[in-house]
A = this chain, B = another copy of it.
């Protein structure tokens, strides 16, 4: 892995764990074990790193959605794979929340120019879920149902982070899977 990719990977993790603004160049440089000076050879501004991190997350998300589509041809099962992320990534979510939700919220407060790109991460999930609901025969309200599933995931992530309660997550997952079964 080249230095640039290492920087993006380290920044991605640090932005998630500590937030974008709270993460300094020094912290990223230390994580990658390069000097702050060398850092600026690869990225001229902090905003450039953020753009690269978001682009990297977009690619990783696309890859994950592809792998879910490969894993099952059943749209309902694909949606369940999404619903269960809050369990699969339980420890990270309890510690740091949802990487997409917390980033979009922070960039909104900072009025950051990269905010639309962060929101586009949500749109990837939204459109993919919409396609699955369409395949289930819910053409007219596929998008509303996709948004409902996203609402669930964001609510669960925020409260799992606040209360650190694994059982709560399990209950909400069961509830939404029961709802999905009636669709």
Contacts and interface: CB of A to CB of B under 8 A. Distances in A.
A17 B108 CA distance: 9
A74 to B, nearest CB: 25
A168 B104 CA distance: 18
Interface string A142-160: 0010011011111110110
- Copies of this protein in the assembly total 2
A102 interface: yes
A101 B152 CA distance: 14
A161 interface: yes
B102 A161 contact: no
Contact of A153 (B17, B95, B96, B155): B155
Contact of A154 (B17, B109, B155): B155
Contacts of A150: 155, 159
Interface stretch (A1-9, A18-26, A33-41): A18-26
Contacts of A108: 95-97, 161-162
The residue among A155, A168, A175 with the most chain B CB atoms within 10 A of its own CB is A155
